[in-house]
Structure 1
């Protein structure tokens, strides 16, 4: 019986891995997917991400905003794809800069922008170093929307 458990444990370890080896899809699912589900969000409660992250990330200011959202959270009203949302998103500072960059870049790949914009770990590190309130992230979003209309 013990000989059968060792290969099973090895398979499970390889399948799940440790967090620094998880794919962006798995990182997304266990962190962002809890609320945003497969990327479509929840009508009236949580805004969709798919088809939006790539468009937001297409400018340096957009990538700065996305990094700030993941490092500081965001609160207040959000308009996404013409729909209004009133949601609170917590910060994800417990993830590494590389993990956050991987998640955002993976989401960007799911949009229609080609080539899809990439978010670098350095952009995340910069946002991590400049802690701001979730409300200030919402103000940042409003300013960005005036400069580059957000989807």
Structure 2
């Protein structure tokens, strides 16, 4: 009985951690992983004018095509370097790779960001989409080239 009392705070804390991380819905997982990994720079999704591009209201628009979805997965898996234009504003930055995250976590982040755009039918991402691209790593400059090619086909917001 005494031993059980000593373990009670540890067990309560462990159950709390499991409830926050392991039992979350896909949306909550995406939001949590976004905050911990992306929100440091992109803040609530609005970015920082001239330094960090905004994400809110753009990810769902980019993800409306298969090429756009492919590009977004590549950005998270491989990072992105160089200048770009987002919502008419110029940015020149370097984003790191988040390859350390699982396929499920990356898919959840992209689904969360897509849903934050306000569309009634936001595109969603699956872990299988990410896994298929993980096998073919790219350098961040190659992802920038992919962005330029995509922008020529489907102008990016």
TM-score by length of 2: 0.86
The 5 A counterparts of 1:1-151 are 2=6, 5-6=9-10, 8-10=12-14, 12-14=16-18, 16-17=20-21, 23-151=29-157
Q: Post-superposition shift, 1:149?
A: 0.5
How many residues were matched structurally? Answer: 151
Secondary structure in 1 aligned to 2:107? helix
Q: Is the Cα contact below 8 Å between 1:65 and 1:140 reproduced in 2?
A: yes
Q: Which moved more, 1:25-34 or 1:3-12?
A: 3-12
Task: Kindly provide the CA deviation profile for residues 43-86 of structure 1, in whole angstroms up to 9, marking residues without a partner as x.
Answer: 11100000000000000000000011111111000111110000
Secondary structure in 2 aligned to 1:23? helix
RMSD over aligned CA atoms reads 2.2
Q: Is the Cα contact below 8 Å between 2:63 and 2:69 reproduced in 1?
A: yes
> 5+ residue gaps in structure 1?
none
Q: Post-superposition shift, 1:130?
A: 1.1
> 5+ residue gaps in structure 2?
none
Separation in 2 of the partners of 1:92 and 1:116?
23
TM-score by length of 1: 0.90
Q: Is the Cα contact below 8 Å between 1:57 and 1:119 reproduced in 2?
A: no
Secondary structure in 1 aligned to 2:76? helix
Task: Kindly provide the CA deviation profile for residues 7-47 of structure 1, in whole angstroms up to 9, marking residues without a partner as x.
Answer: 65246424543599872111110011111111111111100
Q: Post-superposition shift, 1:121?
A: 1.6
